[in-house]
């Protein structure tokens, strides 16, 4: 498919080829699914909602429910107030969610629909029953990326739901960032192992990785409840994991309810996980238990045992900015060389932080925000790498360049079980290391001379 990609790079300002991101509403819809008994609602055309649902469904291999305002030409000209008002009435009468989370699309943003006013009017007219909640986030597709949409919807949760009663509760908020259900489950497991009470929102564990029971539930058992999100205003502190996905919601909660925010990176690898565990220990007023120390020890032992396979290997990484920043630290801990690191999302913090990490150990690394996979492929043609780590769209590059490939991030459309295996925490790093080593050794077995086809590696 990409055999025609050239090694010569021509600077492009108005064109993206194989963009390394998708649009804001997908992130907003994913975040909304992390609220218990919530119906995500797309304020725009049917096509937008269908695309966003199908993309999430293909990644998680689970049915993703969402509703739409079903814009037609009339709504495009006269505004979507009538559509949204009627939609809310239908949603509550037919599907009966506890929460409707409205996110905008390109069309509703361009015509300038005032969502808070429409929601307030719907409440006054009785389209929203007593005891039910409607929240919203502005998520124009023509700016930002799915990560920004996620952050905007989580900020909407804070703006509409978080409350401060004046009584500090013995709990710590965790905003997990744009990660898999398994990652959210792993964060909760680590906190429970340490004896720290947390309120995590959003929380898609048991929503998009739930069991097959033989009975369909539109609203699975998982997700952060409205009561939990409301109580976040009385928590001891908020741990915001990831600058792009979590820092703005945490800052919003700090401003609204005076809950101190600790801004951290995703806990991928030893160092970032150490910092997350230490923050839980500090705010929770607990000691790190021996069980967590053992997990860390097993990870460090594995890294030591396998150093011969990873040392000096050149790696290309692409994905969401928070994930690339954290993953790069794991690669450095393995003494690998992340020589190409890109994200499709805009935001100068990515390049700033990546230069802090790489200017010393990998001074010739190429780092770029708002980039695309076409340019990454061109770099790889100029100077090959030993490993490519990115989402499913990287498979075409890996095939053409015959480079070991690890699927990581969003979306992963051609594999099924990724949502069950964490990449955060000490256990998640073990999972990632296993995938990387298998990819590298599989290529060696396929191509080595007969005398080097070894039974024991």
Give the residue numbers marked as catalytic. Answer: 106, 110
Per DSSP, the residues of 146-181 read HHHHHHHHHHHHHHHH----S---S-EEEE--S--H
Q: Which helix (H) or strand (E) holds 81?
A: helix 81-94
Percent of residues in the chain assigned helix, strand, coil, to nearest 5 = 50, 15, 40
Could you say which DSSP state residue 217 is in?
A: -
- Distance, in Å, from the CA atom of 274 to the CA atom of 133, rounded to the nearest integer, reads 38
Count the alpha carbons within 13 Å of 235 in the hemisphere toward its beta carbon.
34
Q: What is the largest CA-CA distance in the chain?
A: 79
- Distance, in Å, from the CA atom of 250 to the CA atom of 237, rounded to the nearest integer, reads 9
- Residue 171 and residue 145 in contact, taking contact as beta carbons nearer than 8 Å: no
**Could you give the angle at the alpha carbon of 390 between the alpha carbons of 388 and 391, nearest 5°?**
140
Q: Among residues 299, 311, 328, which one has the least CA distance to residue 434? A: 299
Residue 202: cis peptide before it, omega within 30 degrees of 0: yes
Q: Which helix (H) or strand (E) holds 241?
A: strand 237-241
Rg of the chain taking only CA atoms, in angstroms? 23
**Could you give the angle at the alpha carbon of 404 between the alpha carbons of 360 and 358, nearest 5°?**
10
Q: What is the dihedral of CA 282, 283, 284, 288, to 10 degrees?
A: -20
């Amino acid at each position: 498919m990409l055999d025609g990609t050239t090694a010569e790079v021509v600077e492009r300002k108005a064109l993206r080829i194989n963009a390394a991101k998708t649009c804001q509403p997908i992130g907003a819809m994913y975040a909304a699914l992390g609220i218990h008994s919530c119906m995500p609602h797309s304020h725009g055309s049917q096509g937008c909602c269908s695309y966003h649902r199908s993309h999430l469904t293909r990644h998680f291999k689970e049915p993703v429910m969402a509703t739409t305002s079903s814009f037609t030409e009339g709504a495009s000209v006269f505004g979507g107030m009538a559509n949204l008002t009627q939609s809310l009435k239908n949603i509550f009468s037919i599907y009966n969610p506890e929460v409707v989370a409205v996110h905008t699309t390109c069309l509703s943003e361009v015509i300038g629909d005032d969502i808070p006013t429409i929601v307030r009017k719907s409440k006054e007219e009785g389209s929203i029953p007593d005891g039910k909640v409607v929240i919203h986030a502005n998520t124009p597709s023509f700016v930002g990326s799915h990560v920004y949409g996620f952050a905007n919807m989580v900020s909407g949760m804070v703006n509409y739901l978080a409350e401060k009663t004046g009584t500090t509760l013995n709990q710590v908020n965790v905003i997990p960032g744009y990660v898999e259900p398994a990652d959210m489950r792993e964060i909760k497991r680590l906190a429970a192992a340490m004896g720290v009470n947390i309120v995590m929102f959003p929380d898609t564990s048991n929503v998009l990785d739930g069991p097959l029971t033989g009975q369909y539930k539109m609203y699975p058992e998982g997700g952060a409840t409205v009561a939990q999100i409301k109580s976040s205003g009385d928590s001891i502190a908020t741990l915001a994991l990831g600058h792009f996905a979590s820092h703005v919601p945490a800052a919003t909660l700090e401003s609204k309810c005076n809950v101190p925010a600790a801004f951290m990176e995703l806990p991928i690898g030893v160092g970032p996980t150490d910092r997350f565990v230490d923050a839980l220990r500090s705010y929770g007023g607990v000691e790190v238990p021996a069980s967590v120390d053992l997990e860390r020890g097993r990870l460090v032992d594995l890294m030591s045992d396998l150093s011969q396979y990873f040392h000096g290997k050149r790696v290309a990484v692409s994905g969401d900015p928070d994930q690339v920043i954290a993953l790069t630290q794991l690669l450095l801990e393995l003494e690998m060389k992340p020589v190409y690191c890109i994200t499709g999302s805009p935001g100068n913090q990515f390049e700033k932080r990546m230069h802090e990490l790489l200017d010393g150990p990998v001074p010739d690394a190429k780092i770029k925000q708002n980039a695309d996979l076409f340019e990454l492929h061109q770099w790889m043609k100029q100077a090959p790498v030993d490993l490519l780590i990115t989402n499913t769209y990287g498979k075409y590059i890996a095939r053409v360049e015959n480079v070991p490939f690890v699927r990581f991030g969003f979306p992963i459309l051609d594999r099924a079980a990724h949502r069950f295996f964490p990449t955060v925490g000490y256990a998640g790093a073990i999972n990632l290391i296993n995938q990387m080593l298998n990819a590298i050794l599989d290529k060696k077995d396929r191509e080595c001379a007969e005398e080097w086809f070894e039974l024991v590696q």
